[in-house]
Structure 1
Amino acid sequence: MSVTESASRNTPKRPLSVRVPRPAPAHPAPLDMGEGTDIRVMSRYIERSGRPWFPIMGEYHFSRDQPDHWETELRKIRSGGVNIVSTYILWILHEEQQGDVRWDGARDLRRFVETAQIVGLDVVIRIGPWAHGETRNGGFPDWLQALPIARRTNDPDYLALVRGWYAQIAAQVHGLFRDHQNPHGPIVGVQVENEIYDQPDHLGTLRDMAEAEGMRASLWTATGWGGAQLPERRVLPVYAGYADAFWEESHTGWPEFGRMHFTFSAVRDDLTVGADLRQVGVDGSVATESADPWPFATCELGGGMPVAYHRRPLVDPEDVAALAHVKLGSGSSWQGYYLFHGGTQVIGNTTTQESQATGYPNDLPVRDYDFFAPIGREGAQRPHFHALRRQHLMLEAFGEAIVAEPAVIPGDGDVRWSVRGDDRRAWLFVNNHQPALAALETIPGVQFHVEMAASTITMPAAPFTLSAGTFACWPIRQRLGGIDAVTATAQPITQIQTSQGMLVVLAATPGVPVEIQCDEGDVDMVSGATAERRDGGGITVTPITAPGPDCRVKIGTTTFVVLDDDTANGVWKGHVAGRERIVIWDGEGWFDETGFRVTEDPRPRTARVLPALAQGQATVIPVPGADVVRDLPAPVFDDVRTAPVRTGGSAGRFSAPADVDVARLPSTHVDIRDEWFDEAERLLLEITWTGDVMRVYAGDTLIADQFWSGRPLDVDLLPYRELIIRDGLHLRGFAWAPDSGIHVDPRVRPGAVEPVLEVHGAALRTVRSRQIC
């Protein structure tokens, strides 16, 4: 293939071509995993009950949320197409004082795991003992950090303490592991340690100790990034990929490593993740490809990115979805997100956040661990939650046909694309998205030729313009609905059986004509579309209606619903009224044991349900608007001050203002009335502001904080109702300094010549949910 290189990315001289060979058969991976279960690691995928299985894992820290929220938030995670929840067990939160180990309240690991099982999620526990997770001491209790022992090694004194900690964990989750005695147990995997690079014997010892204490997992994992040395056969390496990084320097624009995560590649490792905590230099390069005979698995695809004081990335929802898409096209067989649900740093005897004062190069907020995750710390479902759900529904419906096949990645040209398949069927992935700081350009004249054993597939029929920001996955001769071999320039989302036959939901690719190719023998009737015979046999079907809920193409007994890009992000799938159904809803929601619930919104809207709830009943459900938003007077800061400029930590980076600095600031009162809390599942205060640092207090209790990066600050006031009514709600903030050397995305960085601390708007949102079907 040849593509003319130029600043404007000219039209390719000829179609982009690739040949897809027949891959070697998959075989058992040379790993010693758990015995006696139906989960087995093969060379390219994880097998479950004898069939290829695509794990989709989302991280949610039980101890950084309230137990009363767990079930609803886990149901949201499951409704996002996630089938495994992973969670750190942060030692510092359970044993602040040596010998006083607590599992009560938000520390109740067993309750969390059992709740995950109730809602249909498997569980991976990340047992440390060192976890990181932007936690003080990496999760080590202060008393352990102070001992004269060699932590994170096989020092006998250290191992004796870890053995006791593991025994405590094992006791909490006894009987919950998936093993030969409990084939339906929720815990399917255990990760030992985190981000350790040069202690393979220690990792093996940790697994031995965990098993000796009764942890019998089907899967054992360890983080493999940074060129980690791992014990032979003992753990499955899991990898990471982020769109940006708070741990880079404040003078860094878009990090050099970023491009690899938006380019299809067989390289699994990113040497830069966690590099700021290692004692060796890293130049931003990536490791060379290895011939590992086990699947490409991830545990930390960036669901967003937190901010540090010195560097505040502004990751967009599209960045998260495109990165995950690229990993699929690069051969990922296990999509794991960190974080999938944000949280709040815990204040116990001390703060628990990562800070320069506790040995880190970075200062992070005291409370804020929202991470701009797909589900925010206060339960909001963000645009990337919906975009990822669309991917996950595809994997749920068609993942077996995707995960079993390797990726073939053309290595030249401006168009980033790959094909996963064999010489009979495949999936074509294309990506033309990169973050805004390094956005890609539109590419005209794109057309793909995929050479297979029996024929060469051309798609689409004529070259098209690949718009900047577009990413998509197209089926090539895949079985969709009742049709054996479908090739389409639209991305499958899901499918469902109806009384009229199979219904398949597709998402049109912006700017690309929708074409559905079928073998002629598969087609005995076409409606809602034009059909043309193709050279070489078969037909090409083109819808006569623009993509949207009413764009329906029937081919034989299979109906294709072709949605526009925005509507496609509103597709949900779950059980309603006794059977599995598709719900099209563009707001927040989740499935529970009664059906589909939505979060009330001021706008009246409609939901569509397929198939209909009853014979002859309309599929459209009206959902009236609700009065749930109350605008408040914007708080005014009369005394505008900038924070003291300091540097510190092991890398000499900008330091956040200390508590004593904040205590000198005057406070601004926000009037909150007691009756506003009534009938609220949450009462969210949202502040849209510009400045440097903002803290929110209920009386003297710090309940939320934020380093400004262009996003609003939100906090649920309901848990602090009594404090707020008794002692008031107050804000304290530092202004943005015009000459600040702190990195803030140029798209939102203030251009003012004077210090800025301004609240542009404040609102209270009463969160209530209701069942609509």
Structure 2
Amino acid sequence: MHLIVKCLPLLVAGAFASTACGQALLRIDASAPARAPLENQLQMGASVSPSGERIGANSQYLTRNGKPWMPVMGEFHYSRTPADEWEAELRKMKAAGIDIVATYIMWNHHEEQQGTYVWNGQRDLRRFVQLAAGAGLDVMVRVGPWVHAEVRYGGIPDWVVGAMPTRGDDPQYLRHVARLYGQIGRQLKGLLWKDGGRVIGVQIENEYNLNGPGEGAGHISTLKRMAREAGMDVPLYTVTGWDQTVYPSGEVTPVFGGYPDEPWARSTTELAPKETYAFRFDSRVSGDLGAQTRASTRGTADTDIDKTPFLGAEYGAGLPFMYRRRPVVSSDDIASMLPVQLGSGVNLVGYYMFHGGRNPVGMTTLEESTLTGGYNDTPMISYDFQAPLGPDGQQRPVLTRLRPFHLFMRDFGDRLAPMTVRKPDVVPTGPEDLTTPRLSVRSQGDSAFLFVSNHVRQYPMPLQRQVRFSVKLPGRTVEFPRQPVDLADGAYFIWPLNMDLDGTRLAYATAQPVARLDNGTAGVVYVFAASAGIPVELGFDAAAASSLTAPGARVNQEGGKTVIDGITPGTQAAVTIRRAGKAPVTLLVLTPEQSQQLAIGQLAGQRRLVIGAQQTWFADGGLRMRSDGNPAFRFAVYPALPRTPKAGMPLIAGQDGMFQSFAVTLPARSHEAAFKPVRAARMVRPVMIGGLANAALQPLPESFSAAAAWSIELPRIKNKLDALVELDFVGDIGRLFNGTRMLDDWYYSGYGWQFAARHAGSGPLTLSVLPLRADAPVYIPTEGRPDFGGKEQIAELRAVRVTPIYRLDVKP
């Protein structure tokens, strides 16, 4: 239970003797045996590669070569990104800790005209999958035929929508779906897992909860059979599991998601605290995920909960802007969901979107809109999504918050995946309960991980003072830390209990495991990240004391335990464990900032740690780096490289604790853009209410005759790869043109709009801004809401900034 302990001596079996004054002791009973997974519950496809590698799934987790596997999946839409950018962007995703790239195959992006299929250029699925494999990524193809994806008619071509029933077993519809699937099968031929390729999964349909004649679970069975007949024989078949989804039990496995806000909602104010931030112990669906159809009966995913693993596909790594609702999310709004989802039992974190993009333009624009019967109005071109990787490859701050968790799952997911979720003695009464501490444990035997989150988007959380934890495991109770800690508003983390460090048991740590690096005969390095504002404390058995050294820290013997505190996080070894006949084990505890700058990958033929503030990814045995606006590069590498690498300019070498450091400053560049008004805004009409949501509707196309416009002259840039243009405007909708060709568009929200100069073409650009009315019934966050100064409407271009992009290739 959660209780306040009086000033009395405490002696808990297997824990430390201590005195607690006004401490909050948070208890979790994890003594019951972990659940054993059920096998053979799912009828999947070919699971063995030509080399004998096997991918499988039981009732609790995925497996790879018989071992528990906890991958991270990120969505990236090839047809929304120029093809010449795919390779670098896929490698950036790999360096960000992504293991599987998921992508929608949008039917109307490939067969906009009946019988004319386009599989080249930006729509070259085969090349995209090949490049993903080259980057070391597995691939999940989401084949639809209805995909949603904020695309026109959910991706189904106009000529289909207008001529026949869709999303059911109508024979005419199925004939066209069979042709589509046949085309996809030919594109993927030889690239599937069973052929030695990296396509490991197929998602059927999306957000499917229809249950009329020719619909329901039978339709999903039909689509799966058709996919297999088209050659798509893969280890995993999935469907989305939210909003009362229906599917044939045992033939597919559901995937879940959760978002920190609901851009598709009707509210023009802040939403109540989201379920996404609340640990779940009895369910998997995290609130409304925006399905366009509604059902009233219980979905198959609810009744299948004991038969299928808890897998994710759409945990929001950002959010889209929709016309009526434009929520801006912070890095912590996104990253704080991870301890909650993992602590609720998720064994595959899948993000939507991990990489932003832009809609291609065909015979018409291809966005979801109320004009074509959609539930939402979305931008015609922009699909930015506030994603960790922006449409032009820019790294957003949220990526640095997420990556330590991804690295944790990559190196320790096989330990976590089989663990059972345990709830605390006292749990919040619901998502709106902001005072009861939010935590869970996952355990198997005497090993466990503690998950804590004290962050809820837009709601201040109380300081949880003087907190200690008591976790009852089958063989012992672990009560920690020795010194109580304060959990500040915004705190979130994962801490280990009874963690095996290559033969030495770490009883607990008030720091988060990030990675394990095997450096051969030089030993093993365990990387931890300090939790912001919380002192690092490590607990070991007393017997381990003789093998431990901790320079600069305090080593205490209490109650049969060895406790190390006073650790200063950084790049120096925090603890070294030396045992006779074994290679040393080193604990490296990074600061929170250093852990967010950490990337791990193959460099000079070996897996290495790289710390640097700039965007970093791995390619061709070396490093590639990008810095937006700052010409100074500094990075540190462990283990040391065998020789000083080459980088086009001489690198200044040095030492930073355990790390070899390098620095170089490239020649600085400065670019200025000029703009001038072309036409003033005219008065726009009040925003209309209507559509399926009975909410604010995007103004009709003719309304843009009232938009203000500016002509923009970009500077002459020798290499237009090397600049981002930021359009700082205030209004309702901004649209950027080269002549009459729309390059990009944006719903104003206060979030910065950037556009790569390389896509601007030649000649001046034109920015048109539709005025935002003061009485517009749309949600814009308080911090982004403009000051109208008593005016009825506003349309302003405040600045056009050009940020130079600096690049550094490091070759060992």
TM range (shorter): over 0.9
Q: CA deviation at 1:748?
A: 2.1
Q: Does 2:795 align with 1:772?
A: no
Aligned to 1:197, which of 209, 222, 229?
209
- Superposed displacement of residue 766, structure 1: 3.5
In structure 2, the residue corresponding to 1:766 is in which secondary structure? strand
Which amino acid is the alignment partner of residue 272 of structure 1? D
Compute the displacement of 1:759 (Å).
Answer: 3.0
- Contact residue 669 and residue 731 of structure 1 kept, 8 A: yes
Q: Which of residues 314, 322, 325 in structure 2 aligns to 1:308?
A: 322
User: Which whole-Å deviations, capped at 9, do the CAs of 1:514-556 have from their partners, x for residues lacking one?
Assistant: 1111223334131324444454423111244x32334633233
Q: How does 1:574-653 map to 2 (within 5 A)?
A: 574-600=601-627, 601-614=629-642, 618=655, 619-633=660-674, 639-641=680-682, 643-644=684-685, 645-653=687-695
8 Å CA contact 2:708, 2:795 repeated in 1: no
2:746 maps to 1:746 = no
Corresponding residue for residue 40 of structure 1: 56
Note closer, same or farther for the CA distance 1:682–1:352 as it changes in structure 2 (3 Å cut).
farther
| SS of residue paired to 1:407 | strand
Shift of residue 260 of structure 1? 4.0
Gaps in structure 1 of 5+ consecutive residues:
5-9
Question: What is the one-letter code of the residue matched to 1:94?
Answer: H
Give the conservation status (yes or no) of the 8 Å contact 1:244–1:255. no
Contact 2:769 2:796 in 1 (8 A): no
CA distance in 2, matches of 1:561, 1:633: 50
Query: What secondary structure sits across from 2:348 in the alignment?
Result: strand
Give the conservation status (yes or no) of the 8 Å contact 1:640–1:757.
Answer: yes
Q: Is residue 2:60 matched to residue 1:25?
A: no
Offset, 1:102:
1.1
Q: 1:172 aligns with which of 169, 187, 195?
A: 187
Structure 2 distance, partners of 1:506, 1:278, is 44
Deviations 1:440-468 (A, max 9, x none): 22211211011112221112112211000
- 1:221 is aligned to 238
Cross-structure match for 2:178 = 163
CA distance in 2, matches of 1:122, 1:51: 17
Counterpart in the other structure of 1:698: 738
The question of 1:539 aligning with 2:577 is answered no
CA shift, 1:16, in A, is 3.1
Q: State the SS of the aligned residue for 2:772.
A: coil
In structure 2, relative to structure 1, the CA distance for the partners of 1:11 and 1:643 (3 Å cut) is farther
Cα distance in 2 for partners of 1:340, 1:502 equals 31
Q: Which is worse superposed, 553-562 or 43-52?
A: 553-562
Is 2:588 the counterpart of 1:567?
A: no
In the aligned structure 2, how far is the partner of 1:684 from the partner of 1:615?
Answer: 35
> Which one is further off, 473-482 or 60-69?
473-482
Deviations 1:479-533 (A, max 9, x none): 2356343421000111213354222221111222111112233341313244444
- Where does residue 108 of structure 1 map in the other structure? 124
| Change beyond 3 A, Cα 1:605–1:232 | same
Q: Distance in 1 between matches of 2:781 and 2:678?
A: 24
Looking at structure 2, the residues matched to 82 and 580 of structure 1 have their Cα atoms a distance apart, in angstroms, of: 16
List gaps (5 residues or longer) in structure 2: 5-20, 49-53, 211-215, 429-435, 579-583, 645-653
Residue of structure 2 in register with 1:336 after alignment: 350
1:153 corresponds to 2:168: yes
Q: Verify: 1:758 aligned to 2:772, yes or no.
A: no
Q: Hey, what does 1:446 align to over in structure 2? A: 467
The CA distance in 2 between the partners of 1:363 and 1:170, in whole Å, is: 33
Aligned to 2:337: 323
Secondary structure of residue in 2 paired with 1:433? coil
TM-score, normalised on structure 1? 0.93
* CA deviation after TM superposition for structure 1 residue 664, in Å: 4.4
Aligned mates of 2:683, 2:531 — CA distance in 1:
47
Instruction: Tell me which of 355, 359, 364 is aligned to 2:369.
Output: 355
RMSD value over aligned CA atoms?
Answer: 2.4
Amino acid at match of 1:2: H
Q: Where does 1:59-458 land on structure 2 (aligned, <5 Å)?
A: 59-147=75-163, 149-179=164-194, 182=195, 184-198=196-210, 199-255=216-272, 258-275=274-291, 277-279=292-294, 291-410=305-424, 411-412=426-427, 414-436=436-458, 438-458=459-479
With over 3 angstroms needed to count, the CA separation of the structure-2 counterparts of 1:743 and 1:577, relative to structure 1, is same
Mean alpha-carbon deviation: is it higher for 546-555 or for 711-720? Answer: 546-555
| 1:75–1:590 CA contact under 8 A, matched in 2 | yes
Note the 1:647-726 alignment, pairs <5 A.
647-673=689-715, 675-676=716-717, 678-721=718-761, 724-725=762-763
Q: Secondary structure at the match of 2:193?
A: coil
Partner of 1:7: none
- Distance (whole Å) between structure 2 residues aligned to residue 42 and residue 286 of structure 1: 17
Q: What does the per-residue CA deviation read over 1:88-135, in whole Å, with 9 as the maximum and x for residues that have no partner?
A: 000001111101111111111000001100110000000000001000
The range that moved more, 423-432 or 597-606, is 597-606
User: Contact 1:635–1:669 (CA<8 Å) still a contact in 2?
Assistant: yes
Q: Quick one: structure 1 residues 589 and 759, their matched pair in 2 at CA, closer, same or farther if it must change by over 3 Å?
A: farther
Gap change, CA 1:471 and 1:636, over 3 Å in 2: farther
User: Structure 1 residues 296-305 or 625-634, which shifts more?
Assistant: 625-634
Query: Taking structure 1 as reference, are residues 575 and 542 closer, same or farther at Cα in structure 2, changes over 3 Å only?
Result: same
Secondary structure of the residue aligned to 2:314 is strand
- Supply the AA of the counterpart residue of 1:412: V
Aligned CA distance change for structure 1 residues 534 and 24 (closer, same or farther; 3 Å): farther
Tell me if the contact between 2:679 and 2:708 (Cα under 8 Å) persists in the aligned partners. no
Deviation at 1:735, TM superposition (A): 2.7
1:568 Cα deviation after fit: 1.2
Which residue of 2 is the match for residue 526 of structure 1?
Answer: 549
- The DSSP-based 3-state class of the residue aligned with 1:209 is helix
One-letter amino acid matched to 2:110: H
Superimposed CA distance per residue, residues 564-585 of structure 1 (whole angstroms, 9 cap, x where no aligned partner):
2122100100111121100001
Tell me the amino acid that sits aligned with residue 525 of structure 1: L
Count of paired positions:
753
Aligned equivalents of 2:354 and 2:720: distance in 1? 24
Distance 1:387-1:14 versus aligned 2 partners, 3 A rule: closer
Structure 1 stretch 78-87 or stretch 523-532: which is displaced more? Answer: 523-532
Q: Percent identity, aligned pairs only? A: 32
- Pair 1:615–1:362, CA change in 2 (3 A): closer
1:101 and 1:488 map into 2 onto residues whose CA distance is 56
Provide Cα deviations, 1:584-641, integer angstroms capped at 9, x if missing partner: 0122121111311111442524211011113897401113154245243465687244
Are 1:491 and 1:509, in contact at CA under 8 Å, matched by a contact in 2?
A: yes
CA deviation profile, 1:3-43 (whole Å, cap 9, x unmatched)? 58xxxxx9765443433422132231511011342111112
Letter in 2 for 1:16: R
- The 1:442–1:287 alpha-carbon spacing in structure 2 relative to 1, beyond 3 Å, is farther
Which string of whole-angstrom CA distances, capped at 9 and with x for unpartnered residues, describes residues 196-248 of structure 1?
11311100110001101111011000011112121021100001100011110
Amino acid paired to 1:583: V
Aligned CA distance change for structure 1 residues 663 and 482 (closer, same or farther; 3 Å): farther
Distance 1:229 1:289 in 2: 10
CA distance 1:404–1:331, shift in 2 (3 Å) = same
| C-alpha deviation, 1:412, in angstroms | 2.2
2:310, 2:345 within 8 Å by CA — same for their partners in 1? yes
In structure 1, the residue matched to 2:486 is: 465
Alpha-carbon distance change, 121 to 202 in structure 1, aligned in 2, over 3 angstroms: same
Task: Give the deviation of 1:693 after TM superposition.
Answer: 1.2
Is the Cα–Cα contact under 8 Å of residues 301 and 324 in structure 1 kept in the other structure?
Answer: no
| C-alpha contact 2:47 2:56 (8 A) present in aligned 1 | no
The 1:288–1:221 alpha-carbon spacing in structure 2 relative to 1, beyond 3 Å, is closer
Alpha-carbon distance between aligned partners in 1 of 2:184 and 2:745, rounded to the nearest angstrom: 31
SS at match of 2:794: coil
